[in-house]
Amino acid sequence: MAALSAAQMALGSISGSLVGLSLGLVGGGGSILAVPLVIYLVGVPNPHVAIGTSAVAVAANAAVNLANHARAGHVKWPCATVFSVAGVAGAFGGSTLGKMLDGQKLLLIFALLMLVVGALMLRRRADEGDFAVKLGHDNFPALVGFGLATGALSGFFGIGGGFLIVPALMLATGMPILNAIGSSLVAVTAFGLTTAFNYALSGLVDWGLVIVFLAGGVIGGLIGGQLAKRLSDKRGVLNNLFAALIFAVAVYMLYRNWMALSFQG
């Protein structure tokens, strides 16, 4: 793949900052912006390279956040481990299928997924659940099934998939949302690494862009975390604004891909 220009590297750092800022500010959904930013702002023409590169950033962001939740005791490790192990198989299969699909068609489906993410972010999630939930015969099959399904979607699109993993963990085990968020980061890290590894095997990861993207993400995450504390009473408004941003990007992607597919036809 062609080397990135200095301008593209700078834009990669800015893109990482925007993703980190959104993750720090609203706590989720930000990683889905990584792929469109890499394609439309940085100017990486190959959708598969954009997805492979973004998958590394997704995994790294999730690992950092996982460490914070683990220290706070929010992670249900046995449940998270079963879910993640099952999901890794799904992520490898999903990412393999994603590499085989035409890049423009993959982006078209990705844009439709963004509309779903935006809609889910507008929903209020209840904070009820059993804090004492444990891994057992009653929830093991559900954890495996949901893990496989969400892992496959995560690998196919090269996203973290937290917006799917959190409700899946709550549905499978009955754990509260705080534990589901902390536990979901185990899966997001595992799925992201699996997808990144699969794409890297095919040479579809731009490691130079990964470095500047992650550097920007650290800075953006710190700023977003500080802003989140100051704007904690406006969290609902922030979620709505971020959902609107996702909708806008999705519509733009649909337009661009419709035009591209029209010219191909």
Model pLDDT for residues 78-128, shown as the tens digit of each residue:
999 999 999 999 999 999 999 999 888 888 888 888 888 888 777 765 556
Assess if residue 43 is contained within a domain: yes
Assess if residue 202 is contained within a domain: yes
Assess if residue 1 is contained within a domain: no
Residues in the chain: 265
∠ CA 27-31-36, rounded to 5°: 140
pLDDT category at 231 given cuts 50, 70, 90 is confident
Assess if residue 102 is contained within a domain: yes
Assess if residue 168 is contained within a domain: yes
Closest to 117 measured CA to CA, from 165, 59, 152, 75? 165
pLDDT at 161 over 90: no
Give the pLDDT of residue 143: 97
Give the pLDDT of residue 123: 72
pLDDT at 8 over 70: yes
Closest to 188 measured CA to CA, from 160, 159, 146, 150? 160
Give the pLDDT of residue 79: 97
Assess if residue 160 is contained within a domain: yes
Assess if residue 232 is contained within a domain: yes
Domain count, the chain: 1
User: CB–CB of 75/183 below 8 Å?
Assistant: yes
**What's at 190, amino acid-wise?**
A
Q: How much of the chain, in percent, has pLDDT values that exceed 90?
A: 42
Domain that holds residue 81: 6-264
**Cβ atoms < 10 Å from Cβ of 97:** 13
